[in-house]
Amino acid sequence: MDEFELIRRYFASQSMRRNDVRLGIGDDAAILQVPAGQELVASVDSLLAGVHFPTDLPAQAIGHRALAVNLSDLAAMGAEPAWALLALSLPQADLDWIQEFAHGFLALATRYQVALVGGNLARGPLNIAVTVHGFVPTGQALTRKGARAGDQVFVSGWLGDAAAGLRHLQAHTLATAADSGVQRFCFPEPRIHAGLALRGIASAAIDISDGLAADLGHLLEASGVGAQLEVGQLPLSASLLQHATREQAINLALSGGDDYELCFSVPRERMILLESRQHEFGCPVTRIGEITAAKTLQCLRNDRTEWPLRATGYQHF
């Protein structure tokens, strides 16, 4: 079976249809139409075996993660997902693997009404590159720049579970479908609904991929501000605290990465509006600190003593 038949069988035939896709899979390029009054938001990311996921991770989880980490970027911009491009290289045409990968990718795409509109399939080391596109009303996109002193800092969901899950996978302990940390790593949930609800509320936002300390640091740098982060307020799941001490859990939340939650700042005058929209988020939202004028990130215990950051987060180089 050649690459064109693989694309037709496992990807083109199962991709959802959208009215704004004038021409999708099957030509040299896609023809897409951006709705009036909307701006196009685009993001691209690649996943490498052994770098972004264990080489023996199930194909369905790899497919889900490949799209989820990109949708998380759209969520952080307050964008509604629309289209995706997939470039996939494989060492061999393993039909079972391809079918499971496609199932994981397209199941998530269907949930968020994302049409797969093109890409490439080739022989080579396992490498996955995904480009996603979404829409946001003109002038309403969330960015990393905009936080001001006095704004309150929030995060969605829970932190640290995915990093703990990855450690379990690497150590081959508790690496079962029933372990919530492993599930959080294998099947991260992009916070699309939260991102949409934050339009007009958040002054700045970012998704947490490399660890809260690192990614909040990017937001602070872009905004030209600092923050005081209250480690006692970090949302830690009961499951995480069953497998780790509180100190270990806090360190995982601060620098473990792979959470794909949103971190965002909210001006005090918009706090009531935030509370009124929390039912739209689809997940808990927790206040964890405050933006300051000093251009540093302080992590503080409940007694206001400083929590030492042992690591800021994942770095490729």
- The ranges of the chain annotated as CATH 3.30.1330.10 are 3-137
Look at domain 152-300 and name its CATH class: alpha beta
- The ranges of the chain annotated as CATH 3.90.650.10 are 152-300
pTM above 0.85, yes or no: yes
- Residue-level pLDDT at 57: 87
Architecture of the domain spanning 3-137: 2-Layer Sandwich (3.30)
- Residue-level pLDDT at 177: 46
Per-residue pLDDT tens digits of the chain, which is 317 residues long: 677 777 887 687 777 789 999 998 888 899 999 999 999 999 999 888 777 788 788 999 999 999 999 999 999 999 999 999 999 999 888 899 999 999 999 999 999 999 999 999 889 989 999 999 999 999 999 999 999 999 999 999 999 999 998 888 877 754 454 478 889 999 999 999 999 999 999 999 999 999 999 999 999 999 999 999 999 999 999 999 988 899 999 999 999 999 999 999 999 999 999 999 999 999 999 999 999 999 999 999 999 999 888 766 655 55
Per DSSP bridges, beta strands 152-156 and 285-292 are antiparallel
- Residue-level pLDDT at 312: 64
